[in-house]
Structure 1
């Protein structure tokens, strides 16, 4: 998907659909933004109200979204008010793609910074190797790599959820431990 507008619109629609039952206020904000984006892509169709757009979530995407926007997604986003498999797939695929793009943007910034530093080549290599070799880290180890680059851990790492820690220990997957 080369054009970011359709991708962003799909992310808005799937997120709004998933929130319609649990957080109407957040869903409404997303629906309003989606209205404007959809109208921008298809100005000849007229502006839909947020309620009309929400009602379309129960219709197959191929019935109301142009093919250039929906790509290979088919089916409704909601069935009996509950997010469908299509909706869940869109959320998963589009959010993970956006996360990947955000991280790649930061990596590019680091690369560009390293190009203008005299010790940049070594810093960049250490940075990339650290990311590759350390899916789970200790803050102390990372400081040596991230501080010289003016980067923070939360740009690349998420905190480990509490439910994965038992008695203060993190038990890694046995398959990943041998790699």
Structure 2
């Protein structure tokens, strides 16, 4: 592994530990650099900003949970497959439910929810962290929607999903007493409602 990649990975690992322990607002770039034993400008050199480091971290740790499922759904759609709303929701929710079953996964979801729902602009580079592929799939099911309305519906759906799994108002996610099936029903109603 070259030095730049190992430095980036070290910064991501240290940042994740600090962010999961203390939360986004309590962790400074200076603290990340110091805990990694790096030059005070390392985060800015390798990522540009704390926000870009967090986006890279979340994409690195959470991206793989959606990547295969979303890529498969998009490939199937391009071959003519017509997804159902339930299938689209499963692509989004099932990997998060699996992640929420693991204590570290729950903390990662909490960080994702706090960052995204906190209104912080992120420099996402992976397609599974932006609306475009999700809009494309929803429009296959609901072609009468405009792209803007499909994006708006997904925005509301992802807000509810992140609130459910990430519990952004809490320092750590609490156990939910509402079943995942109920969450899926609410999301389905919002995506299909006329």
TM-score, with length taken from structure 2: 0.23
- Larger Rg: 1 or 2? 1
Q: Which has the higher strand share?
A: 1
What TM-score does the superposition give when structure 1 sets the normalisation length? Answer: 0.25
| Larger helix percent | 2
Task: Specify which structure has the bigger relative contact order, considering alpha-carbon pairs within 8 angstroms and separated by 6 or more residues.
Answer: 2
